[in-house]
Amino acid sequence: MLKRINYTDRRRIPRGQIEVKVDPTDPASFTIDLPADLLSNPDAEVAYVDITSAGSSEVLRHKLVWTGNGFGRGPYPLGRISWKKAIFDVKVVEVVGDDPGRILRRASRIKAVGAGGDPNDGATHQLLATIREPLGEQVWSLRFGESVTLVLNDALSMSDEQFLGNQAFASLVFPEICRRALEWATVAEGVTPGDLTADDTNAASLWIRFAVEIAPDAQCPMTPVGGWAPHNRSDLDEWIDTVVECLCRRHQLCSALSAAGPEAFS
C-alpha cells in the first residue's frame, strides 16, 4: 500500500518540462525526461512518478533514480498498467527520516507519447475530466457526455490539484461523484457489466468497468425491458451503494480524513 503523502505547500512543475514516452513492446515500459534542476536539495528530496490508468483504481509507483547530475530516464516497467491509458504524476517529496513527507513540487496528469507514434496516441481516456467554469455560489458540479467532467467554480483560488488532492474533498465528494456517474452510466446510458467489450472506451463503459474492479463480487442487475424507472430500481440502487461502500473501504476515506485532522479543512 502506498504511504500517504500530505499535500501542503505544493508548487506546480510545468508539464512542458517533462516528457514521457511509452514502449508497448511486451513487457510495456516507459522512459521519462525531467529537468536536471528538479531537485533543489538532492540530499533531502526524492522524486516519484505515480502511474494510473483510466477505468482502474490501480496505482503503480516508481522512485526515480538520481544520478548525481540528473535523473535516469529509465526504462521503467508499466506492470499491469495499460500503456494506452496510462496517466503519469510526478512528485518531488521532502524526505523525513525513512519516510516521504510533504509534496514540494508536482506535475499532474501527464499523457505519454507512444513509441514512434503521435503525441495524441497516449492516455486519451479519462475516468474523470476536470474543467473550470462560473458556477455562482455552487462549488462543483458534474457534467455527463463524451466524458464525466468535474466542473469546479472558476472563482475559487485553489488549483485543481489542491482540490483533488485535499483529503476532505476526496473523502466527502468522490463517493458522491462515483454514485452519480454510475447512475448516469446505467440509467441514462443503459450500460451494465455484461455489455462491456475489451475495446469499449466511452465514458459510461469506463465507469462500469471501474465499478466491477472496485466491487468484483457485487452483481449488477440486468437492465429491465423498457429501462430503469423509480419502481424497479431497488436492486440497481443496492448495487451502486455496494460499489460506493467498497470504494470508501478500499481507500479508507473515513480513516484518512480522521487522520488528517482539522488541517484537512483549512
CATH code of the domain occupying 11-121: 2.60.40
Compute the distance between CA of residue 110 and CA of residue 108 in angstroms, rounded to an integer: 6
Cell of residue 113, nine digits? 507519447
| Domain residue ranges in the chain | 11-121, 161-265
Contact 12, 105 (CB under 8 A): yes
| pTM (two decimals) | 0.55
Best CA proximity match to 241, nearest among 262, 266, 220, 226 = 220
In angstroms, rounded to a whole number, what is the distance separating the alpha carbons of residues 167 and 251? Answer: 11
In Å, the largest CA–CA distance within the chain is: 66
pLDDT in tens for each of the 266 residues of the chain? Answer: 333 344 433 467 776 778 888 877 767 888 888 887 787 777 778 888 888 876 566 678 888 888 777 788 788 888 888 777 788 888 888 776 655 567 777 877 787 765 333 333 333 346 788 888 888 999 999 999 877 888 888 888 877 767 777 788 888 899 999 999 999 999 999 888 888 877 677 888 889 999 998 899 999 998 888 888 888 899 999 999 999 999 998 888 888 888 877 776 66
Contact, 192 vs 235, CB < 8 A?
Answer: no
The per-residue DSSP string of 91-156 comes to: EEEEEETTEEEEEEEEEEEEEPEETTS-GGGSS---SSEEEEE--TT--EEEEESSSEEEEEETT-
